[in-house]
Structure 1
């Protein structure tokens, strides 16, 4: 039997303790549009066909019954990491924007392929990355 193909990443998730601080950061600092707001989850538009799920840490461990079926409980502890894709021509603009909004860049990496990554923290200490191509062999532009 042939393996079906994966079409891409639909969602990525981060767990936070303070949903209001997270919304302020993801909505107002990073400019993501919130699509869903609930007690345990905020979902943000992270680009065409992509979503960032912000879960309230400690409130997602139990299964959730929905009209369509059961969403299995899940959780994490500690800081997580994910990356947003940016254009190579936007790296300096993001450096300037983050500085102007008092968001400290904790690391900057220039990768062997030539791409640049800017790393910074959200209010809960999760490590976020703005990644410009080329980085991975499948991330050219």
Structure 2
């Protein structure tokens, strides 16, 4: 039997303590449109067919029953990491924009393949990355 195909990443998740601070950051600083707002989850449009799920830390460990079935409980502790894809010509505008909004770039990496990543923290200390190609062999510009 051949292996079925994977078509990319649909969702990525971050856990936060302060949902209001997270919303201010992801909505107002990064400009993501919130698609779902609940007590334990905010979902943001992170690009065509992609979602950033922001969960309230400590409120997702138990299974959740829905009309369509059970969503298994999940949780993580500590700070997480994820990357947003940007074009190379947006590196300097993002540097300037983050600085103007008092978001400190904690690291900048130029990768062996030639791409560049800007790293910074959200209000809960999660490590976010803005990545310009090429980064990975499968990174399309």
TM bucket normalised to smaller: over 0.9
Instruction: List alignment gaps of at least 5 residues for structure 1.
Output: none
Matched with 2:74 is 74
Partner SS for 2:65: strand
Deviation at 1:74, TM superposition (A): 0.4
Answering whether residue 37 of structure 2 is matched by residue 37 of structure 1, we say yes
Partner SS for 1:99: helix
Aligned equivalents of 1:87 and 1:98: distance in 2?
16
Matched with 2:91 is 91
Query: For residues 24-63 of structure 1, what are the structure 2 equivalents within 5 Å?
Result: 24-63=24-63
CA RMSD of aligned residues (A): 0.4
User: How many corresponding residue pairs?
Assistant: 141
Instruction: List alignment gaps of at least 5 residues for structure 2.
Output: none
Query: For residues 14-25 of structure 1, what are the structure 2 equivalents within 5 Å?
Result: 14-25=14-25
Deviation at 1:71, TM superposition (A): 0.1
Matched with 1:13 is 13
Aligned equivalents of 2:7 and 2:83: distance in 1?
18
Deviation at 1:140, TM superposition (A): 3.2
Aligned equivalents of 1:101 and 1:113: distance in 2?
30
Partner SS for 1:82: strand
Query: For residues 95-114 of structure 1, what are the structure 2 equivalents within 5 Å?
Result: 95-114=95-114
Aligned equivalents of 1:122 and 1:42: distance in 2?
15
Q: Deviations over 1:39-90 (max 9, x none)?
A: 0000000000000000000000000000000000000000000000000110
